[in-house]
Amino acid sequence: MRALRTAATGMAAQQLNVEVISNNIANMNTVGYKRQRAEFQDLLYQNVERMGAQSSSQGTVVPTGIQIGSGVKAGSVYRITEQGSPNRTGNTYDIAIQGKGYFQITMPSGELAYTRAGNFTVNGEGQLVTDDGYAVEPAIAIPQDALDVSISKSGQVQVTTAGQTEPQVVGQLELATFFNEAGLEAIGDNLLLETAASGPATVGAPGEVGYGTLLQHYTEASNVDAVSEISALIVAQRAYEMNSKVITTADEMLSVSAQVKS
């Protein structure tokens, strides 16, 4: 009974769909999170009667044929990179990106990671870091005697210290862009890694052509829409139930055939 195996693939696919949706809902309040979507593909077909095959000695051909599918499989889980809304926090070191680009973060291994989460802080040495203490690249060091810190839309970091009338430039933030942002590999902690699918990073200053601008005192909210996710969850649940109903029906058909007496 092919329907048993076909429906089983459908249940597995919808289980994956629900897992992706649940991760989106769980990260509704995660800074800079980008929602994901699961896409599916049909499996191989059995050609009982191939379309286009010759059906008579007069040269007539089968117009449509008979193909029986074997179910569904996961094709990909892709990331939707549309802009999240800015949330004002009032924190001096919170920075939202308006437009394209990612902050560069230096991992403990020395490898570069990328993030849209701009909820930064400073460590004991005054260096701008993430919540986990990973340094922002290029390195930005805030003087201990700084009275005020200003970050412009173009990423220029200026500080005002006691006894100075003019702000002092202490660093320049840069953004990285990718040809295929969906190809970045998520590793948790709001961090992404470059892959062969994403292409190499192209680095530039905020506000340049192809790069977004920065907004101090704000963070970028998750782009998860609760209504859309709940609707998708209901659809996935119903699809799972219908596939389970197919298994029940196939089992009943097998039971009837087993009771047939010769």
Residue 162 structural domain: 86-220
The pTM for the full model equals 0.85
* Residue 62 and residue 8 share a domain: yes
* Residue 239 and residue 141 share a domain: no
Tens-digit pLDDT profile for residues 191-229: 999 999 999 999 999 999 999 999 999 999 999 999 999
Burial class from Cβ neighbours inside 10 Å (0-12, 13-18, 19+) for residue 172 reads: middle
Please answer whether residues 116 and 81 qualify as being in contact, where contact means their C-beta atoms are separated by less than 8 angstroms: no
* Residue 248 and residue 165 share a domain: no
Sign of CA dihedral 17, 21, 22, 23: positive
Tens-digit pLDDT profile for residues 60-106: 887 877 888 889 999 999 999 999 999 999 899 999 999 999 999 99
Q: How many CB atoms lie within 10 A of CB 181?
A: 19
* Residue 232 and residue 215 share a domain: no
If one counts the domains in the chain, the total is 2
* Residue 122 and residue 64 share a domain: no
Q: State how far the Cα of 243 lies from the Cα of 7, in Å rounded to an integer.
A: 5
Please answer whether residues 136 and 130 qualify as being in contact, where contact means their C-beta atoms are separated by less than 8 angstroms: yes
